[in-house]
Structure 1
Amino acid sequence: MMLRPRWIGALIFALLLAAGFAWLGQWQLERAVESGKAVEAPTETVLPLAQVAGPGAPLKDVAVGQLVEFTGTFVPGDDQLLEGRLNDGKTGWWVVGHVNLERDGKPVALAVARGWAADETTARAAMARLAEEPASEQRIVGRILPDEQPQLPSDKKNDPTAMRSLGVGQLYNLWHGVDGMDVYAAYVVQRGAPEGLVQIDSPPPIAQTELNWLNVFYAAEWIIFAGFAVFLWYRLVKDAKAREDEEREQAEASAEAQESATAGTVE
């Protein structure tokens, strides 16, 4: 049955149709992968802070991890400690400073993570040295990151101001001379570190990749169509064979009935 010329021709047509559908499915899948490729943001190009973020507004996703530069003044004595901070896989302490800078002619406050220490004693010693330095304007380069959610201190009774996360709101309440000032809802991890501290490890952000699921869906549809083309050929052949078998059985039954009738007449 399947070796008849018309069904062989139909099979060839079905296979060509399935191949076309499969090609379309592959094309849609390639489109999904291509459109889902991560676009590397130029985070390693140092940009002016004013170009990347503004005070009082959440940091935009495209700005997260961007290297920025600005000119500002560290406020002596306003450094704070953050405990439980990882640096190259080791837990330690961050020293976070308060920087004042100008934006549109107005003073603005910004948190800057200045460096890391393996223990609290080293961190506090570095803080003491920084508090003695005179306030002077300086150029600062670092990676800007979004504000963190505040966490309760592990020892609220002995040190209620201890912090484990860099929440700008918490720092703002501890800083001096910031009443009425705008503040950045983000912080900068400083490139380089003051004496006695280790530079904080701040790698560039990992680019996120998302597939175009609509193209994936279309690709799956074309693959289903390709399979259906071959299945349709098989079903047509099967139905044709079933019809021929039924017609043959009817013809045989009719012939037997005619023979029986002829035999009865002869007798």
Structure 2
Amino acid sequence: MKIPVLLRPVALGAHVAGIVLSSAAVGLGLWQLNTWEDRRDDASTERIERSAEPLVDVIGPDQPFQKDQVARSVTAQGEWLTDRTVYVPDRDRDGVEGHWVITMFAVDGSESAIPVVRGWIEEIDPRPVAPTGQASLAGWLQPPEGKAGMPDDDPTDDVIPQVRMADLVQHVDRDLYGGYLLLDHDIQDVDASTSNGGVESLESVDLTQVPEVSATTGWRNFLYAMEWWIFAGFALFIWLRWCRDEVLRVREEEAAQYAPAEPTAEPVEAVDERREDTHAATDA
């Protein structure tokens, strides 16, 4: 019994690959679209007043920052990376230009760290003392900055132009979360179980002093959904194109196999000899 070309083992493997890739891409696109819709629905929710949630439950180390995570109140347990402190200049506080002090914090339960804005200081010389050891922190999540035209002219020093992951990652030897934590200086008066150390000699930075979040933050998920669906369409196109080419190839092979044989052309030498014999007979 002859097996149809699209049911052969090789073709079945191609069908499985095409279905799996296309379905996965469509599913991921729907997931991103639902995330985008959730961001729009939650846009009017006052996230600051929510009760604090563990950082590991709000965002994962490898996840992009979502709009509904802006200003979320979170807690985190881990260890200060004392020698991983950087400073961001040109930060206004009550009309005075100063620096944000940021120290990396290794989060328990992951191999990643999150940048923590410990506070504001007018002058960074001498450098303020950085915290050490284990700590339990509380504060507000913020997305990274990314203003154009602000390159880090000297990546080897501890001053960076903005809170951008591309700049921060050069100052730490591990992965970073997709956002940063704005430390709440008043948390010790609210929750005795959480101690935000490392704020001595630093002024607090509140949410009113944080640059506005880009309006496109929530649209990233929508664009991700479009990208996944484009990939799904491409995988589907390749799969169908391969099926068509296989069918045409087999048809051509079968047509060539069963086509009637063409008459064999007579050798030129035989034709010439026959002509010579004909002329000789005519002359005789």
Q: Which residue of 2 aligns with 1:114?
A: 118
2:207 is matched with 202
**2:63 — aligned with what?**
57
Deviations 1:122-151 (A, max 9, x none): xx431xx22xx5x32111011110011162
How many percent identity over aligned positions?
A: 20
The structural deviation recorded for 1:112 is 0.5
> In structure 2, what is the Cα distance between the partners aligned to 1:56 and 1:37?
22
Give the aligned residue type for 1:149: G
Match of 1:143 in 2: 140
- The whole-number CA distance in structure 1 between the counterparts of 2:169 and 2:43 is 36
Q: Which structure has the larger Rg over C-alpha atoms?
A: 1
Deviations along 1:186-218, one digit per CA (max 9) or x if unpaired, are 0001111611111112249999xxxxxxxxxxx
What residue is the counterpart of 1:245 in the other structure? none
Q: Deviations over 1:14-54 (max 9, x none)?
A: xxxxxxxxxxxxxxxxxxxxxx9973333222111122211
The letter of the residue matching 2:167 is Q
Greater shift in the superposed pair: 159-168 or 136-145: 159-168
The AA in structure 2 aligned to 1:194 is: V
Contact map agreement 2:146 2:162 (CA 8 A) in 1? yes
- Larger relative contact order, structure 1 or 2 (CA cutoff 8 Å, min sep 6): 1
For 1:85, the equivalent position in structure 2 comes to 91
Following TM superposition, by how much is the alpha carbon of 1:167 offset from its aligned partner in structure 2, in angstroms? 1.1
Give the number of equivalent residue pairs. 160
**1:40 aligned partner:** 45
- Output the CA distance in 2 between the equivalents of 1:196 and 1:83: 17
Q: Please report how far the alpha carbon of residue 162 of structure 1 lies from its aligned counterpart in structure 2 after TM superposition.
A: 3.1
Asked if 2 retains the 8 angstrom alpha-carbon contact of 1:75 and 1:100, the reply is yes
Can you give the 5+ residue segments of structure 1 that lack an aligned partner in the other structure? 1-35, 208-267
Q: Does structure 1 residue 74 correspond to structure 2 residue 80?
A: yes
Unaligned runs of 5+ in 2: 1-40, 186-197, 214-284
The answer to whether the 8 A contact 1:149-1:166 is kept is yes
Q: 1:117 to 1:161 in 2, by over 3 A?
A: closer
Q: What displacement does 1:64 show? A: 0.7
Q: Give the superposition deviation at 1:119.
A: 2.2
Q: Deviations over 1:73-121 (max 9, x none)?
A: 1111211111011223432101100110123xx3211110111012232
Show the counterpart of 2:14. none
User: TM-score of the superposition, structure 1-length normalised?
Assistant: 0.52
Q: Give 3-state SS (helix, strand or coil) of 1:79's partner.
A: strand
Alignment RMSD, CA only?
3.4
